[in-house]
Structure 1
Amino acid sequence: MKIRPIKERDAKSFLNLAKQLDSETEFMLFDKEERKTSVEEQRMKIKGIIHDPFSTIFVVEKDDRLIGYLGAMGNTAKRKRHSVYIAIGILQDWVGQGIGMQLFQELERWANEQHMHRLELTVMTSNEAGLALYKKAGFEVEGVKRDSMRVRDRYVDEYYMAKLIDQR
């Protein structure tokens, strides 16, 4: 297993990973079959992220297949450049094997190099495994986003979580 920065040539594999995650769990942003991104559109998004000093995506590769990722999306506004918003997804067959913690360690190394101070994310309040991972990685709940999402015709709350890195 290898964790590495995403490359443009990963567009098709990354899109397939995202679609599989959408179908495996209700804890991702998109419903199954909702993601309509083309491979070329995905390649262009990846290209933009690669060239953005405030954003990154790390992928987890096993036997030439992507099995997980962690994306950190930054801000160009000077007042928000110290902060990134995180999304993470790991295929269900690989959950619980320490991959999430490895991804967060890689993210924190990158964040330190980029002089980031704030790492933030949201998680559905019912996502116990995700919540446990984020707390283990040092994230704290800062608040609740009530009725933040609608899943299976039901409103779902999310926790807003963050971790501060000492970069003052």
Structure 2
Amino acid sequence: MQDSTFDVRPIAVSDAAAYLDLCRQLDRETSFMLYEPDERTTTVDEQREQIQSILRTENQMYFVAESGHRLVGHVQAYGGSHRRNRNTVHLVVGVLQAYSRKGIGAALLRIMEEWARNVGIHRLELTVMTHNLAAVNLYRKAGFEIEGTMRHTLFVDGRYVDEYIMGKVI
């Protein structure tokens, strides 16, 4: 999928170092991601192995957004490992702040949903901090619904925060 300023594509094993750099930058520039700055200890070799494993697993996938030969966003899908939950995937989405509000998040969600439909996924779900209004609005526009609130699930910047569980049946 292409746009005038970015391209969205499946991750490649050769993206391991760039992908790790993207994740580390996201960890540093926003408190909306799970990891704190410098908490991520994954090596490039470990990242490469993780990407290989994801690409071999039928109900798991990563897509990346690239702008000017730089990875600027991603969406991950982790499917259940049992027969009863293998048609549900949990999503993780991140876009660098300098590239937000350019349609990248929406494009990542669209391509992930297309992939999910093609491999027989029935449900997409994710969690999002309740005060991350831009992300909540993005997910709502993509057809996700708030299904509940999880209280005090994360400790961020010295306080407990709530998360929404959001889902979309496709």
TM-score (norm 2): 0.95
The equivalent residue for 2:14 is 9
Distance 2:162 2:138 in 1: 18
Distance 2:169 2:145 in 1: 9
Distance 2:27 2:92 in 1: 13
The equivalent residue for 1:126 is 131
The equivalent residue for 1:67 is 72
Q: Which amino acid aligns with 2:134?
A: A
Task: Tell me by how many angstroms 1:133 deviates.
Answer: 0.2
The equivalent residue for 1:90 is 95
Secondary structure of 1:158's counterpart equals strand
- Contiguous gaps of at least 5 residues in structure 2: 1-5
Distance 1:82 1:52 in 2: 13
Secondary structure of 1:72's counterpart equals strand
The equivalent residue for 1:144 is 149
Secondary structure of 1:37's counterpart equals coil
Runs of 4+ in 1 over 2 A off after TM superposition: none
Distance 1:38 1:116 in 2: 30
Task: Tell me by how many angstroms 1:2 deviates.
Answer: 1.1
Identity, % of aligned pairs? Answer: 46
Task: Tell me by how many angstroms 1:73 deviates.
Answer: 0.5
- Please provide the CA RMSD for this pair: 0.6
Match runs of 1:14-93 below 5 Å: 14-93=19-98
Distance 2:157 2:105 in 1: 27
Are 2:153 and 1:153 equivalent residues in the alignment? no
Q: Which amino acid aligns with 1:93?
A: A
Q: Which amino acid aligns with 2:54?
A: I
Task: Tell me by how many angstroms 1:152 deviates.
Answer: 1.6
Distance 2:79 2:40 in 1: 22
Listed one character per residue, the Cα deviations across residues 3-55 of structure 1 (whole Å, up to 9, x for unaligned) are 11001110000000000000110000001111111111111111100101100
Are 2:167 and 1:162 equivalent residues in the alignment? yes
The equivalent residue for 2:3 is none
TM-score (norm 1): 0.97
